[in-house]
Each structure stands twice: as C-alpha cells, then as structure tokens.
Amino acid sequence: MPSPNYVSDISQLRITDAEEAGGKGANMGEMVAANLPVPPGFVLLRDCYLASIQAGGVADELNAAHRTALSSDPAGLAEMCERMQALVWRAGVADDVRDAVLTAYRKLGSDAVVAVRSSATGEDGADASFAGMNATFTNISGEQELIEAVQRCWASLFSPRVVSYRASRKFSADPAMAVVVQLMIASERSGVAFTADPSTGAEDRVVVEGAFGLGEVVVSGAVEPDTYIVAKDTGEILSRRRGYKSFKIIRGADGNDQKVDLSEAEADSQVLSDEEVGEIVALALATERHNGCPQDTEWAIADGKAWLVQARPITTLHHATMSTPESHEVVARGLPAAPGEASGAVRVLLTPDEGSGLLDGEVLVAQMTNPDWLPTMRRAAALVTDTGGMTCHAAIVARELGVPCIVGARTATTDLADGMIVTVDGTHGRVLTGRTSATGGAQTTPVEAQPATAAVVSEATGTKIYVNLAMPDSAERVAAQDVDGVGLLRAEFILTDALRNRHPRDLIARGEQDTLVDALAAAVGRIAAAFAPRPVVYRATDFRTNEFRGLAGGQAYEPVEHNPMIGYRGCYRYVKEPDVFALELTALARVREQNPNLHLMIPFVRTKWELEECLSLVDASPLGRQRGLHRWVMAEVPSVVHWLPEYVGMGIDGVSIGSNDLTQLMLGVDRDSDICAELFDESDAAVLDAIGRIISTARRLGITSSLCGQAPSTKPAFAEHLVRMGITSVSVNPDAAVRARRTVAAAERRLLLEAARAGDSNHSR
C-alpha cells in the first residue's frame, strides 16, 4: 500500500490544492507558477496534522472540545484553549509524518535556516484572512527545532484569538493545519504591498509599507513603517509618509531573533529608493495579474534582491465616503486603516489581558495593533493605536469586523484619556472631540452597516449590474449591496468546499451521491435566498481535467490532457457523463422549489449538437420540468457567434459573454501567460466585433445578454462600448459593483445627451 502524500514541494502546488495545503501554501505555489521570486521550500499538507492527532489518540476529544469552545463565553474560552493545545502536544508528530518532513527538510541543506508558517484550511481566502492569528516562526534551524515549530503551528489552531475569530466567521468545521517551510531570507528591509488601497478601496493604486530588518515589525504593527502610495497605471509615487522605525529585528549570532534599537537618524530614514518601490510594485502587480484579484503581498530585500514571501487575496475593500468634521477639534491623527465612523468613550488598555476592562461600545486605544486583541476588538466601537501601518494584520481584521480603525497615531495612548467622548473617523485617519452629526446618538456607523446607503445608491441604470460569486459565506453581505442579482454563480468552489475537495465520482463509487446533492443544494440555496427575488444564474461545474485530477480520488477518473483549457470540459462533458450532471440538476431543482429566482447556465458550448443533447438532459430532469427556468449559455468559444440563432431556437433565453476565455480563444493567447500578457486585450477590435455580433443577435432575437468580467468597471471606454451595443447587463466582482454602476451610468447619460442633440438637430431642419 503506498504511503500517504504528506509533503509537497511548493513549486508543485496550485490554488486548487488550498484544501490540503492551506491558502498560504497554495498561494505560494501560484507565485512560483507565475515565475516570481519565491524562496524554495515545502508544505506539510493537512494530512500530517490529521494523521498525527489520529495516531496520538486525541482526534475525537480535540474536535469535540473545539465545537464546545466555539460557543464558550470569553471567561471560559482561555481554559478550553489551553486544554485543546495540550491535546495537540500530547499527540506529538506521527512517525511516518516525521520521516517525510525531515526528508524534505534535508533537501534544503544541512540544518538549513527556515521560516515555518501556519497555513490553516480557510486561511487567506476571498473573505477570511486569519491575518497573523496562527503562528509563524522564523530562523528555525535543526531537525528537532523544526519538528517543535510544526507542533507550535498546529497548537496555534486553538489559541483564544483564532477560536474567537472562527466563531465570528461562523466556521464550524473541525479545523486542520498545513505548514509552510521555506528557506529564510536574511531581510535587510521588508514589508507589505497591497495592490488596492485597503483604507479606501481604490484599485487604481498600490500601497507599499516597509521597515528595516524582518517583516514581522510591519505586519505585527510593532513600528510605524514608511508608506508609499503608487499609481498603478503610471508607476508614479503619489505620496510618501516616512514612519518612525525605532528598532529592527534581525537574526542574531545565536540563531535567534534579535531586537536592535535604531538611532534617531536611522529610525527616521527612508527605507526604499524610488527604484526599489517600483520593483516591489511590479512584483505585486504580477501577483495580481496571475491571481485575478487584488493581492496582499509580503516582500523582503536581501543582498539587493527582492523576494515575495507571501500573497493572499485582500479580504475586504471598502469604497466609502464619510462625513467631515463640523466644529469638532482633531485630537489625534494617524493612518486610516479601516473605514467608517464611530463615537464612544475612550478606554486606554496596555495589553490584551486587560480586555475585560473594555465596555461594549467604547473606543479601544492601545499602543500596538495585534491579533491577540480580537476578542476585545469585537466589542469595541472603534480602534486607535500608537504604532502599526494600515496593512498590518490587526487592521485587516478590523476591516473584516467593520470596526473603524486608525493606526500609527504615535501618541494616542497619552493624548486620549479614559472617559473622553470622541468620534473616530477611520476613513480619514482622525479622532475628533465629541460626537459628530454623522453618528448622532448612535454608537457607530461602520461602512459594513451601510452597503446600500445614499453614498452608494446614487443613480439608476438601464443596464443591470450583477455580481459574480463563488462562495455562499458572503451571500448576505453582497446581497445587501446595490446590485441587481448574481450574473455568474461559479459552482467549482462551492463543490470543492462543500465536498471537502473530493471528486464527484469518488462519492458516487462509494454510494455517497446524496452527500453531493445535499451539500450543493444547501450552499446554492443560501445564495438564492439571500438575493431573492433578484435572479441568480448558476453556471454548471466547469472544472478542467487537471483541476478535477487534483480532487481526492480524481486521478482514477480524469484523463491527462496536454491542453485542458480547450479539452474535456463544459457542455461536452455533461453529455458524456450524464449521471454526474444529473446530480447537479437534482440539487438545483430542490433549491428552485423554494427559490424560483435560480436559473441555469451551460458553459463552454462549442457546437449545436452537444447543446441539443445537454438541453435534453435538462428537460428530462426534475429541474427541466419546473416553470420559469431560464436557460443561459456562456459565450466563451468563438463558434457561438455563428451558432447563437440556432441556440435561441432550441430554447436558450440568455447569453453571458465570458470575456476572458473569448479573448483568449479569439486571439490565441493564454490569458495566464506573463510572457504574452501584452497580447491579451479584451478591447482588441476582433474581440469587440465578436462581442458586438453576440449582443446584436441577442437583441434581434429578444433574449438577455450579459458580460462577465472586470473590464466594464475598470475601462470606461469598454463599458461605453457595451452600452452602445445594447447589452442587457454586466456582471462584475462584488468589490467593483459600485464603480461599474457609476461607469455604466455615465455612459448611458452620454448616449441620452447624444440622442437629445440629434433630436434637436432634426427638429431644427
């Protein structure tokens, strides 16, 4: 019997491995795939943890204790966590796991100096960051020290701050931990780079923060870093803010981290040259292009070379417009780390252990941001700290909690006194005396509480603004925004999450197909209910074979293709595997019994005959017999330009243009290729012509037309082109919906003005 696959080289991992390698490990693999400078290393997959607690005889007791801890009161949580961590240590590391880990470690060199980072399941995802909560250990050297660091990572799954955060995000599954091991970079300078402004949500700029020595002083908020705001399109440095960096952390002669105090001149000196800022921005943007969404990256410079040591999606981007002060005095200023406005009495606390002294609705003022403050932050109206940057871990968590936050205020703990009534303006980085008119008698008005306020709902558009969704966890929050429905509900992430990364055929082979139906119906039902009565268009599963092979049991069922992007996928696959497709249709039929706003979209349709076969499967299923079901096709393959009239004649009443794949196939360029990146252009005349013909055919035949992609929100000319062609809707990621509506509205106004002028001109004749 083959031994379990406990360890994987980072270079072999991709984002589809996130369930086994955690978000951090999978994201590192994606950076290697993008040919970015990443320190070599390996990942202990989550099975290392699972096998060890099982072999140690503590798995059942540990998971039961965790379920109890999720609902524990704060007073009992610490004791529960100590008990769970003790169980992890008691279990130790299973012998076969230890052997696999040490074999991989020896390949890095004799007693190599490594960083050991937690990579828990659920970390670094689209809407949950676990920022800095699980443990990271630097400058680890030697086999025994490595094994102990791994155990400490596992034990950090059950710290009070992590369990509290998990409870706040309603994560109830038994936790597991992968661990990333990488060669240490002897950082002379380090920091973070966000490819969108985390304080305002602006995606046209990059925020770079840096300090001397190891990067933990930046991400922990221990010092006030230098901050650079850089324009994405031109690379111009729009602003510089030099922070006061009182110390740095380096690797000492004994191999341990060493704190080194800096002189006044050093503490106030600039960390990066303009050229180095540009290099870091280029690396961060390459990560964003590869992953397709704004990124939170960590970088390090050693011996003149810049390295990327971490990347993850930015979990929250707010687009806020807050009130301005009236007659209120500004008593403190800092960096705007989490937007929103809140009023309350000040409570100055020195350590997280003093958290019980904070009353609900008070403003927490502390010297340093740290994720250990999480249980206290959840009860605070706002947070103000002396140190830290707007990309530090606790600032990220504050944004997820919707708690207005200001960091780097320098002297807030001495300038603000217990009992003072203040208003924290997290959008502009100011603390004002008294309560502003914006908060009035209320304690707080965070941005999260007003997703569809007058600041957002500014104008109606004839073109519908839909959103793309991939997971149910964010359904209620996104549904509260000013959006008209879901234009693209991706099945792939829902399935892998609900089925714990198992291949559908593996479930069928074990007689567990009902598990697939139940899990899919529950997840899709939650989204459909949140958006009702607005439409939700579900795109049937469109994994490529290489992605399907990565699922548990997938290698037994999936062929190896040289070019899976244009291989066995989409509509053709449903025709060839009707039994798997039938399970998906059964789940959707169950959802539509309660939520008839759910509709079906067939992806990657190449020919008339395969769509005809596919629709016959739909019609014969319980879903096809339900009234009011809309049947959409994705327009990704250029053949749709020719076949669309035939598709409409077969009962298709909606077409959604997948602009990424359509551009790729029209121009013959891999959209993921950095080498050919300049060739990939959704605005190319050939692509626009195909899009125009699809939309005009849809208009002529009276069916709905849409486009799924970010171009309508980032390229005003592209949006105007779609509006002029008469598209029915556009579907964008949730964080771009406000901007997309604004752009589309402007285009519609220009068309109305042109029509009015043309009418006046004709009348004058």
Question: Tens of pLDDT along 208-224?
Answer: 999 999 887 777 667 78
In the three-class reduction of DSSP (H, G, I as helix; E, B as strand; rest coil), residue 118 is classed as strand
Alpha-carbon gap, residue 437 to 440, rounded angstroms: 5
Mean pLDDT of 356-384: 82
Mean pLDDT of 163-191: 83
pLDDT band at 265 (very low <50, low <70, confident <90, very high): confident
> pLDDT at position 408, please?
82
Query: Cα dihedral sign for 505, 508, 512, 518?
Result: positive
Structural domains counted in the chain: 4
CA dihedral 444→447→452→457, nearest 10 degrees, is: 110
Domain match, 348 and 397 both: yes
Query: Cα dihedral sign for 671, 677, 681, 684?
Result: negative
Please answer whether residues 534 and 729 qualify as being in contact, where contact means their C-beta atoms are separated by less than 8 angstroms: no
Cα distances from 121 to residues 215, 423, 556, in angstroms, run 24, 37, 25
pLDDT band at 328 (very low <50, low <70, confident <90, very high): confident
Q: Is the pLDDT of residue 450 over 60?
A: no
Please answer whether residues 589 and 538 qualify as being in contact, where contact means their C-beta atoms are separated by less than 8 angstroms: no
Strand stretches in 10-83, DSSP E: 41-44
Tokens of 205: 């700029």
Alpha-carbon gap, residue 742 to 746, rounded angstroms: 6
Is 483 a domain residue? yes
> pLDDT at position 378, please?
78
Domain-ending residue, one of 283, 313, 343: 313
Mean pLDDT of 148-159: 91
Q: Is the pLDDT of residue 452 over 50?
A: no
On the question of a cis peptide bond just before residue 533, with omega within 30 degrees of 0, the verdict is yes
Please answer whether residues 221 and 370 qualify as being in contact, where contact means their C-beta atoms are separated by less than 8 angstroms: yes
Q: Is the pLDDT of residue 707 over 50?
A: yes
pLDDT digits (tens, 9 = 90+) for 27-59: 888 889 888 999 999 999 999 999 999 999 999
pLDDT band at 391 (very low <50, low <70, confident <90, very high): low
Alpha-carbon gap, residue 213 to 190, rounded angstroms: 6
For Cα atoms 214, 218, 223, give the angle at the middle one, nearest 5 degrees.
Answer: 105
Is 432 a domain residue? yes
pLDDT band at 587 (very low <50, low <70, confident <90, very high): very high
Mean pLDDT of 230-251: 88
Q: Is the pLDDT of residue 326 over 60?
A: no
User: What is the distance of C-alpha 328 from the center of its chain?
Assistant: 37
Q: Is the pLDDT of residue 535 over 70?
A: yes
Please answer whether residues 198 and 314 qualify as being in contact, where contact means their C-beta atoms are separated by less than 8 angstroms: yes
Alpha-carbon gap, residue 671 to 146, rounded angstroms: 39
Ranked by mean pLDDT, the top range of 169-173, 526-530, 710-714 is 526-530
User: What is the distance of C-alpha 385 from the center of its chain?
Assistant: 26
Domain match, 193 and 157 both: no
Domain match, 245 and 308 both: yes
Q: Which structural domain, as residue segments, surrounds residue 212?
A: 189-313
Is 454 a domain residue? no
Is 479 a domain residue? yes
Mean pLDDT of 532-552: 86
Tokens of 14: 């991709």
How many CB atoms are closer than 10 A to CB 612?
Answer: 14
Q: Give the CATH number for residue 398.
A: 3.50.30.10
Tokens of 413: 């703990």
Please answer whether residues 542 and 570 qualify as being in contact, where contact means their C-beta atoms are separated by less than 8 angstroms: yes
Alpha-carbon gap, residue 157 to 215, rounded angstroms: 22
Please answer whether residues 102 and 83 qualify as being in contact, where contact means their C-beta atoms are separated by less than 8 angstroms: no
In the three-class reduction of DSSP (H, G, I as helix; E, B as strand; rest coil), residue 172 is classed as coil
| Partners of 444 in beta bridges | 342
Active site residues: 393, 708
| Partners of 19 in beta bridges | none
N-to-C CA span, the chain: 89
Return the residue matching tokens 């992890």: 88
Domain match, 195 and 147 both: no
Is 570 a domain residue? yes
Q: Is the pLDDT of residue 327 over 60?
A: no
Domain match, 249 and 178 both: no
β-strand 704-708 against 654-658: which pairing, if any? parallel
Tokens of 207: 């925020």
> pLDDT at position 470, please?
74
SS3 content of the chain, % helix, strand, coil (to 5): 40, 20, 35
Please answer whether residues 486 and 536 qualify as being in contact, where contact means their C-beta atoms are separated by less than 8 angstroms: yes
Domain match, 439 and 471 both: no
DSSP letters of 318-341?
-----PPPSS--EEEE-EEEE-EE
Alpha-carbon gap, residue 495 to 520, rounded angstroms: 7
Domain match, 23 and 63 both: yes
pLDDT digits (tens, 9 = 90+) for 113-146: 999 988 876 544 444 444 445 678 888 999 999 9
> pLDDT at position 386, please?
86
For Cα atoms 576, 581, 587, give the angle at the middle one, nearest 5 degrees.
Answer: 175
β-strand 464-469 against 729-732: which pairing, if any? parallel
Please enumerate in sequence order all residues whose Cβ is within 8 A of that of 642, keeping only pairs 6 or more positions apart, or say none.
none
pLDDT band at 749 (very low <50, low <70, confident <90, very high): confident
Of the candidate ranges 242-251, 294-303, 608-617, the one whose mean pLDDT is the lowest: 242-251
Tokens of 444: 């707080």
Q: Give the CATH number for residue 646.
A: 3.20.20.60
By residue count, the chain amounts to 765
How many CB atoms are closer than 10 A to CB 319?
Answer: 18
Domain match, 204 and 179 both: no
Alpha-carbon gap, residue 518 to 537, rounded angstroms: 19
Is 761 a domain residue? no
Domain match, 725 and 705 both: yes
Domain-ending residue, one of 183, 217, 232: 183
Please enumerate in sequence order all residues whose Cβ is within 8 A of that of 628, keeping only pairs 6 or more positions apart, or say none.
596
Domain match, 619 and 735 both: yes
Q: Give the CATH number for residue 286.
A: 3.30.470.20
Q: Is the pLDDT of residue 586 over 90?
A: yes
Is 255 a domain residue? yes
Domain match, 118 and 13 both: yes
Domain match, 511 and 440 both: no
Q: Is the pTM of this model over 0.75?
A: no
List b or e across 393-414, with b for residues whose CB sees 16 or more CB atoms inside 10 angstroms. bbbbbbbbbbbbbbbbbbebbe
Domain-ending residue, one of 412, 447, 482: 447
Is 504 a domain residue? yes
Please enumerate in sequence order all residues whose Cβ is within 8 A of that of 711, keeping only pairs 6 or more positions apart, or say none.
659, 682, 683, 718, 719
Cα distances from 150 to residues 111, 114, 115, 147, in angstroms, run 16, 12, 11, 5
Average pLDDT, the chain: 83
> pLDDT at position 374, please?
65
List b or e across 486-523, with b for residues whose CB sees 16 or more CB atoms inside 10 angstroms. bbbbbbbbbbbbbbebbbbbbbeeeeebebbbebbbeb
Which H or E run contains 307? strand 305-313
Q: Is the pLDDT of residue 377 over 60?
A: yes
Amino acid at 359: L
Query: Cα dihedral sign for 144, 300, 374, 225?
Result: positive
pLDDT band at 607 (very low <50, low <70, confident <90, very high): very high
